[in-house]
Structure 1
């Protein structure tokens, strides 16, 4: 019988790799995560907002009825296990831009698919005089944000204590694959799972997949105004992380794809923020990250077309905090029990790109 040090090697400890690790852990599977805290990470830059109703047309997030209940259970369980605050259930207030938009949105709330995510309480505009809301607004519930740095740090510490995490700069030359397993830095694994975010583009096993990475920037601001616990969303988001601090974002750009915050992106966000926020503020920081987005806006999950012990869990894009827990559960059920993956996320949909 083939002997392995661990069943799984997970490359990457962003929200994707961490979610997979927790599901493997709860399934009694052995694994080791290879993470590099010196490398930039989109998971650590992201605001971590989860929002069931998105876009200018108030569209329900894909798979919302499955994703959101599961995410709350997952993150709530981790809070108990890790002993720290991770999940902040915070409504999203969407100021109407016009009377026409007000009428359109209010008509949409009668849709039984949308109504569970809209508050029936009175308009909150009067509670937030620091927000430009001349036409009132809509309150989206079952929303909030995850403190991703806290989640990743606490998870890493938990796994490190159990020898399930190793701090390492991953070099593909250090990994060798054979039908009988994976070897990496003197250890033997049955299967490798790549969850590298943007850095998957440098991975020869999966760089044929249609990643369309997008750079995004967010700001941190302080204000003397006492902020209410509502995320404001109108073209950009303004997320209160304390009574006097906000995160503001985000931009979308494709050139250059680097991790540097720019004055141009800062000016773009501040222009939009002045149209949203009726209060003075001080800019304290700017951060940029590269989202691992995909051409069809669906994650890239599954098993390599040729090598059954080489897998990927990536492409979570802008909705990683809601997608990662549910899809990690589905992916682990696929690997452990052979349960079929949703074809809309399974990389089988792109196998033709590999074999052409």
Structure 2
């Protein structure tokens, strides 16, 4: 039998494929990533915010106690390897919208599951004068954002130098699978891992999975006043990038599912922004992406029901920056050591859709 050139072929270099690649690299496994910089990518549009307390009801993010410490360790390690900052630890300020919301949220902070993620210091609202916070607000800690374009570009450069990355358009017809291995463009691999985001819906091996993709748009604005180091969250987020620039988002829409920023989505965001912001600004740009979300809001990870050398790591949705590192570790432990995957993310939960 012809020897393998690499153990793994990773298709897709978004936050999912990149996280898997780093874990395989640290485990001493050989791989090649195929990425196509000409294709749109939700990872490059996303603001990259990690937030342990989400939603109108201040709910702790699923697996937060595992995800957040591991994400900080993972991204901190990458900063050392890559020699640049990619993680920005930034608290999130949530202005209360009413006295009722204030009372509800403050009561919730006594919950021992919630309290580690809430600042004990006084309300910082007065330090953020450009935000409307008539009822005060809540400061969420252990939060921040990942500079995803910087992370993806630096990772690609690192892997390219080690001949572990290939810039190419992936065509399924170029890939040949047998029980003995995977062949793609003259190279042989033991397994293929698809991490294609939204484009997995066009993948013949995994198009039976219940993706429910969602389009989102964000804005970039230049403010008339200097910004403080707080992410603001009140229905939308306002993420400071520098002293006078911020990202604002995000919308949720299902029709049409395309990558074009629209005037309607811009108007929707600006309407909400004007309610939250009491300072002038200039619109600097808009971007849209398609989130690879899933029917049950849990990722799609695992091995094909029929083909043991065809795998998927996808469906990370809106919380990809925190889910990707921890679940990539779990997935690589599954591939390398046979450790069981969390059944809530394992695609086995949907095998009935494949065999019906």
Give the corresponding residue for 2:175: 175
Distance between the aligned counterparts of 1:144 and 1:31, measured in 2? 31
- Equivalent position SS for 1:110: coil
Give the corresponding residue for 2:312: 312
Deviation, 1:2, is 5.3
Give the corresponding residue for 1:151: 151
Distance between the aligned counterparts of 2:223 and 2:188, measured in 1? 53
Give the corresponding residue for 1:188: 188
Distance between the aligned counterparts of 2:264 and 2:182, measured in 1? 45
- Equivalent position SS for 1:149: helix
Give the corresponding residue for 1:107: 107
Deviation, 1:104, is 0.3
Distance between the aligned counterparts of 2:191 and 2:113, measured in 1? 40
Give the corresponding residue for 1:331: 331
Q: Deviations over 1:177-218 (max 9, x none)?
A: 000000000000000000000000100000000000000000
Distance between the aligned counterparts of 1:107 and 1:149, measured in 2? 38
TM-score, normalised to structure 2's length? 1.00
Give the corresponding residue for 1:46: 46
Q: Which moved more, 1:274-283 or 1:1-10?
A: 1-10
TM-score, normalised to structure 1's length? 1.00
Q: Deviations over 1:335-356 (max 9, x none)?
A: 0000000000000000000000
Q: Is the 8 A contact 1:218 1:247 kept in 2?
A: yes
Deviation, 1:224, is 2.0
Deviation, 1:3, is 1.1
Please state if 1:301 is matched with 2:267. Answer: no
Give the corresponding residue for 2:83: 83
Give the corresponding residue for 2:123: 123
Q: Deviations over 1:133-184 (max 9, x none)?
A: 0000000000000000000000000000000000000000000000000000
Give the corresponding residue for 2:164: 164
Alignment of 1:172-251 (within 5 A): 172-251=172-251
- Equivalent position SS for 2:216: strand
Distance between the aligned counterparts of 2:128 and 2:30, measured in 1? 49
Alignment of 1:338-353 (within 5 A): 338-353=338-353
Give the corresponding residue for 1:98: 98
Q: Is the 8 A contact 1:2 1:180 kept in 2?
A: no
Give the corresponding residue for 2:139: 139
Moved segments of 4+, more than 6 Å:
none
Q: Deviations over 1:251-298 (max 9, x none)?
A: 000000000000000000000000000100000000000000000000
Structure 1 unaligned blocks of 5 or more: none
Alignment of 1:271-310 (within 5 A): 271-310=271-310
Q: Is the 8 A contact 1:205 1:304 kept in 2?
A: yes
Distance between the aligned counterparts of 1:223 and 1:238, measured in 2? 11
Give the corresponding residue for 1:13: 13
Q: Is the 8 A contact 1:10 1:31 kept in 2?
A: yes
Distance between the aligned counterparts of 1:177 and 1:2, measured in 2? 14
Q: Deviations over 1:70-110 (max 9, x none)?
A: 00000000000000110000000000000000000000000
Distance between the aligned counterparts of 2:24 and 2:235, measured in 1? 38
Distance between the aligned counterparts of 1:173 and 1:265, measured in 2? 37
- Equivalent position SS for 2:228: coil
Give the corresponding residue for 2:56: 56
Q: Is the 8 A contact 1:302 1:313 kept in 2?
A: yes
Q: Is the 8 A contact 1:42 1:197 kept in 2?
A: yes
Distance between the aligned counterparts of 1:98 and 1:255, measured in 2? 33
Distance between the aligned counterparts of 1:188 and 1:273, measured in 2? 51
